[in-house]
Amino acid sequence: MNVELLNPFTQNFPEAVVATLEDAALCLRYNSTGRFIAAGRFDGWTTIWDAETKGIIRTLEGHVKGVVSVSWSRNSKYLLTGSKDWNCVVWDLASGEREQTIRFDAPVSNAVFHPRNSKIIVVTLTTCQTFVVDLRQGVSPRRVELAEDVNVVTVGEQNGTAPVATNGASTNPKASITIARFSRDGKTIYAGTSQGTLLIFSSRNKSLLRRLKIANNCAVKHMEFNQSGSHLVMNSTDRIVRVYSIDKEPGSIIPTLEILHKLQDPIQRSPWNAVSFGGDAEYVLAGSGNIASHSIYIWDRTTGDLEKILEGPKEPLSDLDWHPLRPHIASLSVSGLIHLWGRHVHENYSAFAPGFEELDENIEYEERESEFDIEDEEEERRKRQQEEEEEVDIDTVDPLGGETLIRGQIPAAIPRAILPAATDEEDTWADGDADDDNEYDWFPPVRLDEEEEEEDAD
């Protein structure tokens, strides 16, 4: 459907479930353009779905236990999967084969790619250990564990002052890291702990930059950034969703966080199983952990007001993700089904032509005086010839943002796919031995063996 036919003044969030994908998934994520959905399954397989056709384009077999984490590379050529079998696998979706397999000493709880280079990943284990793994040539050591610096004093969430160094060791007990994420620019790593603190590390030298107190002895469960990296949403075991704004001084990588909202369910006090931002960060959403419902809460990020509660199937929600460009949501139920949420679109047919008029009831048509006059045939022939001689551009496409793209280029309208030029030591470090994931809107090639298997199945 043409984007021009949609009313720009309607609500910008989904209304109901429009499709359900039959799967047995534990986790899911949209890629940077929202074209594909990666779903990690109970049986150790990973399924790649086409969000438009609702069909499977890849199945990846590489784990012997459930896949609990999936992460897309910058332009979707590589996929990272983390599993309970203690392994992380980097997949090359061009061939459908393993690129790398990383073995750990405990089950993996989450793993993500660096936003500038898919050869750098951060992995958190169920033992609350977090490692930065560098797969580039000539790098040593390849695996570094993130740990707290005892010489950093706790900073309260209400004052955004810089960390203060002490001469002696801190009396605060060492907290275990429960989740870790790269910032959108890849220069820092945000890690939530079991003690309710947020640790911010430098991606390049792994040093601790800041330590912020988020909640009192409540473990951080989930953490997500918006596409531009200017806001952060966190969920902890105290059943409060916290929204922060992120600011940086020019020339500094140390961020300053300011809390904007504390969101919760004031009636049922439901726990949350997933949090995220809308594609343009206009909304904050959270998936309820209520065992009797499949509910998604949507708040306005600016005001903190509750805008909508989406009620789905009568089964608990385990994960969700918002489409990066459109008002669509993919939610996951505990049975493994993937539910796609969207809006019931009312087409605006008057957008086809300026003189088109929509009628509520039949009216008598009045013929114009010159409506059926014979026009100059020579003039008509000249116009048709001019239209036929006009060159048609088939190399450019017009995405939702309205910016003209050429296949292979990276658009500025899609922050997840941006790879700006290196501006400091952190960017230069990350771009060393870069990957080959440079083509925007990359589509995995069709494999002949998959076509043959489908024919044999029929």
User: Do 287 and 333 meet the contact criterion of CB atoms below 8 Å apart?
Assistant: no
Residue 157 has pLDDT above 80, yes or no: no
What integer pLDDT is reported at residue 154 of this predicted model? Answer: 38
Residue 156 has pLDDT above 50, yes or no: no
Between 272 and 267, residue with greater pLDDT? 272
Between 448 and 156, residue with greater pLDDT? 448
Residue 91 has pLDDT above 50, yes or no: yes
Q: Read off the pTM.
A: 0.79
Give me the percent of the chain exceeding a pLDDT of 70: 80
Separation between Cα atoms, residue 75 and residue 438, nearest integer Å: 7
What integer pLDDT is reported at residue 392 of this predicted model? Answer: 74
Residue 394 has pLDDT above 50, yes or no: yes
Tokens 């275990």 correspond to what residue? 176
Residue 363 has pLDDT above 90, yes or no: no
186 band by pLDDT with thresholds 50, 70 and 90? very high
List, for residues 195-236, the tens digit of each pLDDT value: 999 999 999 999 999 999 998 889 999 999 999 999 999 999
Segment among 43-52, 170-179, 229-238, 322-331 with least mean pLDDT: 170-179
On average, the pLDDT of the chain sits at: 83
Residue 152 has pLDDT above 60, yes or no: no
Separation between Cα atoms, residue 331 and residue 209, nearest integer Å: 35
Separation between Cα atoms, residue 292 and residue 217, nearest integer Å: 28
Report the candidate in 177, 203, 194, 219 with the shortest Cα–Cα distance to residue 255: 203
Which two tokens mark 457? 């199945």
Give me the percent of the chain exceeding a pLDDT of 90: 55
What integer pLDDT is reported at residue 1 of this predicted model? Answer: 43
User: What is the mean predicted confidence (pLDDT) over 125-154?
Assistant: 82
